[in-house]
Structure 1
């Protein structure tokens, strides 16, 4: 009920002002009909009626000129109080109704300091008028002092209501900010997840497809001259394709999961599986040598996985772009850094080598707090150097396909 009345008042401000002016004017005029004891009811004096109408009509400007409205209603109320001494009616709170409404409007629309000053000035004017024009020369009575208290009340109520309004506005603003921030964070997370999915699919698909292409080309070349060796290469090709399909199914299967992630059936790739990885490149015609410096250290799962994927992608790029049959992988275990260097001696490097593969390797290195450089060697060939912290914390949300490799 109260909420409906507030909504009606907010939508019809002019009707509210008219109702307020008529009601307060009627109360002020009614007060002028009540004389001093024995309170004989009489017709309202015409001068008092005119002043009451003018004072109440000033409220029509309280929304646009609240300060001028307070000045006008204060003057009108003081005049009504002064006329009461000669016309015989009592200077009560109903006479000061327009002033109280004007002070409430002023306190609602301005700051606390302005409202306090105007309220104090109005109360002082009314108290002075009551003292100067007291009926029959009597001193200030308790009713007149109580009138000053009534004048102070609207500002206090309006200040409390304004504080509540500001608090509600601040709460709504914080809620809107939280919603907007949450939506932006959700978009950021979606974008990051899309990048992780794209990077993982690239690593899985590009590696196996490159090996399969190299093996198929080798088998085609050997088929007419050395069918036995061609058959062996075809067997390796089948193994490569089966492994590719398994990893692809595992990656896509994780993306389709809606509940808890499934228990991995195989551990995530790590540096301990480098010999098997290098052997797969050997079947495709790329001879890779592996050397290590420093004592091997237990790496966090994120760094171990990142190191494996960087070696895998770097050798895949060698197979696709370097035009060579040999490459080297060097692991240098330092106190705080694991340095991975992948070199080849290819004489040509197509521009596509700087595509998504290098971007994905850099993103993986940065995700665990490391860095990666890819550049041409001064003499001949190309090299990829990755520096990964050996004590890096676990990365957030590992890429989807790294939970398992096959079903």
Structure 2
């Protein structure tokens, strides 16, 4: 596990050397596209050009009541909350006097068989079987159950079928129980109902869908897809507004082959750069150019020394894919200090089977004062 400071940096620090850029920590209240204004909580700003890159949030397919029981993993706050829930589950199992209650807390459900769900299920399985195995006196963490739920016929549907099969077999060997072709029909505090079965669990985690950031709804009547993402032209312009560009996961467009551009960091980065170039072309009086997505492939880690990676027609499974995954994620971290810190953390975790960021800091009312249980390597 990594701490937030290891993988993120403040925007003010990142742009501190750019005197022509101002960073504001404020909230968008409304957009006035006709007047070229953005109304914030504290002030209103006029603009010549605007780039909207709000991203997406966790989507529950209209079942928003599930969110309180099954948190997603889209922000640092959500990642911290997810880690707290997983670690707290072991603490609650340790305190349980009833074997059934202990079993409930030692049962984890991950909904969604994409890269996030696969990585999460594998990480929890390894945490229970290796990292936490010697930390408790009343429970056997190796007996924890991890269930991975996927509504479609296979895991990692964006990957070649051979890699989906590899991920399935690898997770199964790690003890993960995989449920394919079983969509979720209901989620409660301690139960997940599937189309064919029900799983009792004290920790339910959601990695199954996305939808547009709610702030985007303040743009008014603009074309959207089912997830609320904005339909934009090939030049990334918002229809009918030649000074507004949409970039990142919020933009819904297709590449030259007619395939939707995926909600991935490389695509978002490419869109941001293209939007900036579009503005420069407009200022120079030049016509706009269509966005061309360069597919850099897909990667997903499954567990220790195991991952899948593919680039065009080249597919790699196992240890070398895992090393490639580590390398790519190190390169794209912000700041050399973060890269060195994360690299050393990974080396220590690999050699010692220990996780560094395992501190629980938030109290759960009516349960356990988890701020006192500070497991750390």
TM-score > 0.5, shorter chain as reference: no
TM-score normalised by the chain length of structure 1: 0.21
Structure richer in helix, relative to its length? 1
Q: Which has the larger radius of gyration?
A: 1
TM-score normalised by the chain length of structure 2: 0.22
